[in-house]
Amino acid sequence: MGIDPVTLIAALIVASTPILLAAIGELVVEKAGVLNLGVEGMMIVGAISGFAIAVNTGSATLGFIAAAAGGALLSLIFAFITQYLLANHVATGLALTLFGLGLSALLGESYSGISPPPTPSLNIPGLSDIPVLGPILFAHDAIVYLSIAIVAGVWAMLKYSRMGLIIRAVGESHDAAHALGYKVIRIRVLAIMFGGACAGLGGAYLSLVRVPQWTEGMTAGAGWIALAIVVFASWKPWRALLGAYLFGGITALQLRLQAAGIDIPVEILAMSPYLITILVLVIMSSDKNRAALNAPAALGKVFHATG
Amino acid sequence: MLVLEKRPQPSRAWIAATPVLAVVLTMIAGGLMFAALGKNPVEAIRIIFWDPLFNAQFASYARPQLLVKAAPLILIAIGLSLGFRAGIWNIGAEGQYIMGAIAGASFGLAFYPTDSVLIYPGMVIAGGFGGWLWAMIPAILKTRFRTNEILVSLLLVYVAEKFLASAAVGFLRNPEGRGFPGSRNLSQIESMNNPELIAGSGMHWGVVTAFIVVIMAYVMLNKHMMGYQIKLAGQAPRAARFAGVNPTRLIVLCLGISGALAGLAGIFEVTGPAGQISIDFNVGYGFTAIIVAFLGRLHPVGILLAGLLMALTYIGGELAQLMLTIPASAIQAFQGMLLFFLLAVDVLSNYRIKLKREGIA
């Protein structure tokens, strides 16, 4: 049974990137006190809009830009209904997922069975030729590095910048933030759009790099797993990276075990990413103090300014 | 500038009017979507909402389908609505539906080819039990470990789908099916069949059960302590705790009831309209039922009407696919839109829109 650890780790990073992108976006959204359960819907709309633009223009880069725009655009519907029309976050997020799945299937009618233009790897001369470390660290495409840069950026922004402080204030107590004169609604809408753009990018990474093809419902729960990873990460950016890579590792490993024909039924292996996500959620939530301490206090609460 | 002013009491008139308004807005937006697809919007809307019921050519086929498609939606949505009222979000009904179908079919097929009148009732009970069991996973994880039931119940849908795939090609595969995936055709086995009870009506045991469940839910919500506790827990969780409502019991009950009802819907479907366990016998009723529950304002009678309307969009959607080659996914997007509009116009029931001039403090 040959499972080469170097290619496994390289595959792990590719498998993790879509979820990492979606998770880091949702992390910012939740930090601002908004629970958007529409990640799955925004991801799949990103997947098809990125795919369609990339196929039509022949440029994967334009595809990724379109995917981010598509995800952000879709998230605006959620932002409008929850922030201005004060609807329940959970129900609206579900609506976003249901609508996104239908809309993406509709947009994708004529795109199945086509190959997208390739996304070039940034083969850094010299570095990517180093044995072992080269293929793992230096032979990926730009989006992989972008996703890590976004994690670092979000971490620094939340921790050190004034903007991060405001986002956290809005997420912990919208009434206090409002009283201090911050535009709660505007900040939340921007956070939601950032989350949408990230989810869209993640979706496009699935359809343009990971698979790479368009099939209906291809996200297969990746958006929900991203939501679980935010909980796993206790709303900390670097932990989200760890969670996404752990999850990607399991996915990559189970696919290789399936291919290697190991003596475990294929269905059990295919279930394993979901089961392990549930297990991780249970472990994280069973610790009462930790779970309660880190969740933004105003998460999922509707804000209506009076007076 | 327009501002929203919270109503002291939700407006009863708007609560009743918003679903209708949402449907009208969805028709308009959906018409625009169909126009963008290059179809005649008026014709498309007519085919979806009018022709299945009143066009002489299609009505004889389509009318019975209304009950066939509405029954699973209503069964599942009633269960979900109890939890939604109490703030317990079971969004994995699709998984419970699949597991109920597998459990019920397994029970029946274990006795094949025995012929007994007891087999079908046994299958129904096993189906409800299967759905209940699957819903107990998020319930127990929620009550024991405070794990978020939204994510767990949803992730379990994917697990159930994988399990369904393994059942259809593995332990439930028809031994006489020449190796094709899928179980024996349950609807053709006398003792395991869920037949049309009145010819040409579409009425089967699932429809009967759905009507009974609507009545039971209505009585429970209005006359029973349990219904009061569910409403209280949703509207004022703190007050509910002081009033002695046991949250653990409520979570187990709400998830359990919704799981069992989804499981029932599943077994009625595979023994009747779907006919057999196959890899993709489930068509997303578990998710559409979420829309039905909200469209029905989480009220049993409302859900009954909403279920019929949503069934109509399924049938009309199939018809539109046939007549105008509107893709099936357009109908899915259409249904999603409906939920958006519903949630959006709901602001009118809880808030008053006021015109406020700029500059007045």
Model pLDDT for residues B184-200, shown as the tens digit of each residue: 887 777 777 777 777 77
Q: Which residue of B has its CA nearest to A229?
A: B151
pLDDT of residue B93: 94
| pLDDT per residue as tens digits for the range B208-248 | 999 999 999 999 888 888 888 888 888 888 888 888 888 89
**Residue B181: its pLDDT value, please?**
80
Please tell me if residue A293 touches chain B, with a CB cutoff of 8 Å: no
Do A95 and B332 count as a contact with CB atoms less than 8 A apart?
Answer: no
Q: Is A190 exposed, middle or buried (0-12, 13-18, 19+ CB in 10 A)?
A: middle
B-facing residues of A in 146-185 (CB < 8 A) are: none
Best probe of the B interface among A75, A77, A103, by most B CBs < 10 A, is: A103
Residue B177, SS3? coil
Most confident among A134-138, B4-8, B56-60, B293-297 (mean pLDDT): B293-297
CB B139 within 8 A of CB B149: yes
Single-letter amino acid code for the residue at B160: A
pTM value is 0.89
Q: Inspect the interface and report whether the beta carbons of A87 and B336 lie closer than 8 Å.
A: no
Nearest 5 degrees, angle CA B33-CA B39-CA B40?
Answer: 100
Cross-chain residue pair B332–A101, CB shorter than 8 Å: yes
Q: In chain B, whose CA is at the least distance from the CA of A87? A: B343
- Chain A residues within 8 A of B337 when measuring between CB atoms: 99
Contact B336 A228 (CB under 8 A): no
Instruction: Please indicate if any CB of chain B lies within 8 Å of the CB of A220.
Output: yes
CB atoms within 10 A of CB A28: 25
Tell me, what DSSP letter sits at residue A80?
I
**Residue B357 binned pLDDT confidence (cut-offs 50, 70, 90):** low
pLDDT at A292: 59
Q: What are phi and psi of A234, to 5 degrees?
A: 50, 40
Minimum CA–CA partner of A307 in chain B: B361
State whether B165 and A267 contact (CB < 8 Å). yes
The pLDDT of residue B361 is: 47
pLDDT digits (tens, 9 = 90+) for A152-168: 999 999 999 999 999 99
Inter-chain residue contact A98 with B347, CB threshold 8 Å: no
User: Which has the minimum average pLDDT: A104-108, B17-21, B278-282?
Assistant: B278-282
- Report whether A20 contacts A77 (CB < 8 A): no
The values of phi and psi at residue B351, to 5°, are: -130, 155
ipTM: 0.86
Q: In Å, how far is A236's CA from the nearest CA of chain B?
A: 18
pLDDT tens across A168-189, in order? 999 988 888 888 888 899 999 9
